Each structure stands twice: as C-alpha cells, then as structure tokens.
C-alpha cells in the first residue's frame, strides 16, 4: 500500500525509505542476487577492487583508468588520524568502551577536524554535493585506522600509523598486526569489505537516510547509522555467529544435541535467515570460497570454517529451515574468514561498518543530489482519547 493509503490506519511496515531501481543496490530475495548499480555483486568481487567499488557506489559508474588512480591515491592519503584523536581513543580503551561505541564517538569527534564544517555557521549543504563527498571520503578513509588503532590499544599496544603505499586490505592488517599480510588475506579482506558495501534498505541505511534528510551533516548521519549497525539483529550478527560457533564447539555436545537445545531455548541461529532472502545469501558463497582458499593455503586455520560448514550441513539436512527459506546469510561465514586472518571477534561489526559506510554515503549523496528530503511520518497508534492523569 502506498503511504497515503495508510492514512488513519495503524501504519505498521510503513516505507520509510523509497529505494528505486536507479539507486544503489537491489536485493532479489528469491534468486539470492544483489545488483550494485546494476552490477552483480559476484562480478564486482571478481573484477573490481574496493576503490573502484566505492567510486561506482558514489558516482553511479565504474571509474576510467584516468579517474581511478587519482581517486585511489586521494583515498589512501586521508587515512591518518589527528594526534589528539588518538589520545582520545586511548581514554576510550582505558574505559573499555566496545569498539563500535569507540568508533561512533571518534567519528563524531572527527567532524571537528573537517574544514568543510564550520561549527559557528548554520549547517546547510544545498549546493555542495562536493562538500558531502569530501566529508565522506574523510570518514571512509579513517574508519580502518580508528578500528585497528583502537584494537591495538585495547591489547595494550601502541597504534601503527597507516601507510599510503599499501592497498586497503594490506594496510588494515598491517595497522592491526604490524606486518604486511599475505596477498590472499589482503584480497579476502578487501572482498569482504566490497560485498558488504550496500544492501537495499537495511536498518542502518534507513537510519543514514532519515538523519541526512534532516540536513544533518555526513558525520552525524553516519554516526547514527553506526548505532543501528551495532545491533545484534543487524551488523553485530557476524560477531555473534562466531561466538555461537565457539559455544557449540566448547559445549562438547553433538551438533544434533546442541541444535535441539538451542531450539528448545528459543535462541537465534546467528547468520541464518534474512528479511529479504528466502535462499542462500550470495555474499555467503563468496566468503565461503575465500575460506576454502585460505584453508588450502599455507596459512589455513580451518577450525571456524569447518564448524560453520558442519553446522550448515546438519541444519540443511536435518531441519525444516531450508524448506522454509531460512538459509545462511553472509554473517554466518564472514567471521570465519576474519578469524583465519587473526582478526579478533570484537571488531567484526567495525569491519562491517568500514564497508557499509560507503553505501550510507552513496545514499546521502544520492539524497542531496535529488534534493529529496525523506521524512518518516510518526503515527500515533494509541487509543483516540487520551486519559490525562491529573497532577495530584
Ligand atoms: C545487510 O547487509 O545489511 C544485512 O544483510 C541486513 C539487511 O539487509 O537487512
């Protein structure tokens, strides 16, 4: 039903964000397919790198060779954090803030270092898609540095400054672990970030659009969207899926017993089922292929992936989940690959954020371009009369 037809009725499931064909990604639940600006996500994973993917999401088409190199170099030059932001991160580590909360606070903090924002002037961006794009590049380039620096501080180590000569995947693992990783790891990480970049009207993208529709600046819209992604029913599911596999492994129960107990307790099987898919999430297949490649390589730590694969096999063959359209989504496998690279579980949602921020900014830019201010209607759905309680 179109929103106007809902007038007066209880408006549940009201469309808050209208994502049409021309916009950034389309998700086909029956086929298990994702198109990002018309390109199949599997083609993007195979034939493009992360910077090309960002350019595509923000500009609507892949960059030419002449456009690509300056864009890539520009993004790599924006990775550094201001020194006192690093000191603030140390305070968050001392307070043992969750990495997502530290990322949110630091992203808001970075607005104070962006020349495109004047804290003493009214925030209007009517005519400056370029300004929004510049702020967006600053945010996207710095989130990996925030994540890696903060994780090292939580481990009692000093942060490692980013390098401009490394690819996205190489640089993140270098900042996190202190050495340039094998190409297979850098590629696998970059592919994970690419395939999570946008996914139709999910909760965090909705949040970014609604906040931006109030003419809030990109730092404010992105920080709000991070809050949505931090939820266990959205971006935190990848962390919870790994913790779930660990619980299964440590339970020393058979998979059958463990699953039955989980069902009896009404606990979620993290990484299974989806608001759109009633078949396999195509991103899960892409990630699982990397997991297999890593296992077959000299670096393979196959514990987590095998746990996931064994659980999937049991659930697909012994439960009615699959016939009810409940199949693995990307969260079920993404953490097994991160684990193989030695990335700690606590920052998996930060990695999801490092990706989805590209999509959020694409939607914000799209919204400013079309000057479409999308405002959700808040509908009072309680009883008509209000029983005011008089003050005694
Ligand atoms: C996502 O990629 O955002 C998740 O699959 C959740 C969703 O699309 O709702």
Q: Residue 327 Cα, ligand 1 centroid: separation in angstroms?
A: 14
CA of 92 to the centre of ligand 1 (A): 28
Cα separation, 63 vs 262, whole angstroms: 48
How far apart are the CA of 324 and the centre of ligand 1, in A?
A: 19
pLDDT digits (tens, 9 = 90+) for 175-218: 999 999 999 999 999 999 999 999 988 899 989 988 887 778 89
**What atom of ligand 1 comes closest to residue 27's alpha carbon?**
8
Q: What is the largest CA-CA distance in the chain?
A: 75
- For range 107-121, the mean pLDDT: 91
The Cβ of residue 25 has, within 10 Å, a number of other Cβ atoms equal to: 23
Contacts of 200 (CB under 8 A, 6+ apart): 19, 25, 26, 27, 276
Q: What DSSP string runs through 105-157?
A: HHHHHHGGG-TT--TTS----TT-HHHHHHHHHHHHHHHHHHHHHHHHHHTT-
Domain boundaries, the chain: 33-232+344-369, 236-341
* Residues 231, 352: Cα–Cα separation, whole Å: 12
- The residue whose C-alpha atom lies closest to atom 8 belonging to ligand 1 is 202
CB atoms within 10 A of CB 355: 24
Report the alpha-carbon distance of residue 364 to residue 217 in Å, rounded: 9
Candidate from 95-99, 232-236, 256-260, 333-337 with smallest mean pLDDT? 232-236
Residue 331 a catalytic site member: yes
The predicted structure's pLDDT at residue 13:
54
Distance 32 CA to ligand 1 centre (A): 13
- Residue 202's nearest CA partner among 180, 235, 179, 173 is 235
pLDDT at residue 76 greater than cutoff 50: yes
Per the model's pLDDT, the better-predicted residue between 189 and 278 turns out to be: 189
C-alpha to C-alpha distances, 69 to 51, 137, 155, 289, nearest whole angstrom: 9, 15, 36, 29
pLDDT in tens, 6-56: 454 544 555 555 555 457 899 998 999 999 999 999 999 999 999 999 999
Pocket, ligand 1, Cβ cutoff 6 A:
199-200, 202, 234, 274-275, 329
pLDDT in the model for residue 223:
98
Phi-psi region of 60 (alpha: psi -120 to 50; beta: other; left: phi over 0): left
- Which of 49, 198, 331, 363 is the catalytic position? 331
Q: What pLDDT is attached to residue 14? A: 53
Count of CB atoms within 10 A of residue 118's CB? 9
What is the pLDDT, as a whole number, of residue 300?
73
- Find residue 27's DSSP bridge partners: 34
Q: What is the pTM of this model?
A: 0.89
CB 53 within 8 A of CB 194: yes
Task: Find the mean pLDDT for residues 162-181.
Answer: 98
User: Residue 274 catalytic?
Assistant: yes
Higher pLDDT, 381 or 326: 326
Can you tell me the distance from the alpha carbon of 305 to that of 337, in angstroms, rounded to the nearest whole number?
Answer: 7
Dist CA 340 CA 337 (whole Å): 5
SS (H, E, C) 295-346: HCCCCCCCHHHHHHHHHHHHHHHHCCCHHHCCCECHHHHHHHHHHHCCCCHH
Probe target for ligand 1 pocket from 234, 238, 363, with the most ligand atoms within 8 Å of CB = 234
Check pLDDT > 90 for residue 276.
no
pLDDT the model gives residue 23:
72
Pocket test for ligand 1, best of 275, 327, 349, 356 (most atoms within 8 A of CB): 275
Is the pLDDT assigned to residue 125 strictly greater than 70? no
Pick the atom of ligand 1 nearest to 200's CA.
Answer: 8
Tokens of 361: 């900014």
Which CATH number describes the domain made up of 33-232+344-369? 1.10.580.10
The answer to whether residue 164 scores a pLDDT higher than 60 is yes
> Which ligand 1 atom sits closest to the C-alpha of 229?
3
| List of residues 6+ apart from 176 with CB closer than 8 A | 147, 148, 151, 152, 160, 343
Q: What is the mean pLDDT of residues 247-266?
A: 95
Give the rounded percent of residues in the chain with a pLDDT score beyond 90. 69
**Sign for the pseudo-dihedral over CA of 39, 134, 204, 1:** negative
Q: What is the mean pLDDT of residues 347-375?
A: 84
Measured CA to CA, the distance from residue 42 to residue 289 in angstroms comes to 12
3-state secondary structure of 40: strand
pLDDT at 10 (0 to 100)? 45
C-alpha to C-alpha distance for 36 and 222, rounded to whole angstroms:
20
- Choose, from 274, 293, 346, 363, the residue flagged as catalytic: 274
Torsion angle of the four alpha carbons 359, 365, 368, 371, in this order, in degrees rounded to the nearest 10: -70
CA distance 329 to 279: 9
- The CATH superfamily of 236-341 is Cytochrome P450-Terp, domain 2 (1.10.230.10)
What pLDDT is stored for residue 233 in this prediction? 81
Q: Which of 143-147, 159-163, 376-380 is least confident?
A: 376-380
Q: What percent of the chain has pLDDT over 70?
A: 87
Residue nearest to atom 1 of ligand 1 (CA): 199
| pLDDT of 232 | 85
- Return the sign of the alpha-carbon dihedral for residues 272, 278, 279, 283: negative
Nearest-CA residue for atom 9 of ligand 1: 202
Lowest mean pLDDT among 13-17, 86-90, 329-333: 13-17
CA of 37 to the centre of ligand 1 (A): 17
Residue 378 pLDDT greater than 50, yes or no: no
* Average pLDDT over all residues of the chain: 88
CA of residue 199 to ligand 1 center, whole Å: 6
């Amino acid at each position: 039903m179109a929103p106007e037809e809902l007038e007066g009725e209880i408006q549940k499931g009201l469309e808050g964000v209208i994502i049409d064909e021309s916009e950034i990604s389309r998700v086909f639940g029956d086929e298990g397919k994702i198109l990002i600006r018309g390109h199949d996500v599997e083609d993007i994973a195979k034939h493009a790198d992360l910077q090309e993917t960002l350019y595509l999401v923000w500009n609507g088409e892949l960059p030419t060779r002449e456009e690509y190199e300056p864009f890539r170099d520009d993004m790599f030059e924006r990775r550094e954090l201001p020194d006192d932001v690093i000191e603030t991160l140390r305070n968050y580590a001392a307070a043992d803030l969750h990495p997502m909360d530290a990322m949110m606070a630091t992203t808001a903090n970075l607005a104070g270092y962006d020349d495109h924002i004047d804290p003493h002037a009214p925030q209007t961006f009517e005519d400056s898609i370029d300004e929004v794009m510049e702020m967006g590049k600053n945010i996207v380039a710095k989130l990996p540095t925030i994540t890696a620096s903060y994780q090292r501080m939580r481990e009692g180590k000093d942060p490692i400054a980013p390098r401009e000569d490394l690819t996205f995947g190489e640089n993140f693992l270098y900042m996190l672990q202190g050495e340039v990783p094998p190409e297979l790891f850098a590629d696998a990480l970059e592919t994970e970030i690419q395939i999570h970049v946008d996914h139709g009207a999910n909760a965090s993208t909705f949040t970014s659009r609604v906040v931006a529709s109030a003419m809030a600046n990109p730092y404010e819209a992105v920080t709000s969207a991070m809050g949505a992604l931090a939820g266990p029913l959205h971006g935190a599911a990848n962390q919870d899926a790994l913790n779930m596999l660990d619980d299964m492994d440590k339970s020393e129960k058979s998979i059958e017993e463990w699953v039955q107990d989980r069902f009896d307790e009404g606990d979620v099987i993290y990484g299974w089922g989806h608001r759109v898919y009633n078949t396999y999430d195509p991103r899960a297949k892409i990630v699982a292929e990397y997991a297999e490649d890593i296992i077959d390589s000299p670096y393979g730590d196959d514990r987590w992936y095998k746990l996931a694969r064994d659980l999937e096999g049991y659930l697909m063959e012994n439960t009615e989940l699959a016939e009810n359209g409940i199949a693995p989504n990307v969260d079920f496998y993404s953490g097994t690959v991160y684990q193989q690279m030695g990335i700690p579980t606590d920052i998996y949602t930060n990695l999801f954020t490092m990706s989805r921020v590209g999509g959020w900014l694409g939607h914000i830019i799209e919204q400013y371009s079309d000057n479409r201010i999308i405002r959700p209607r808040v509908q009072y759905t309680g009883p008509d009369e209000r029983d005011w309680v008089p003050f005694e």
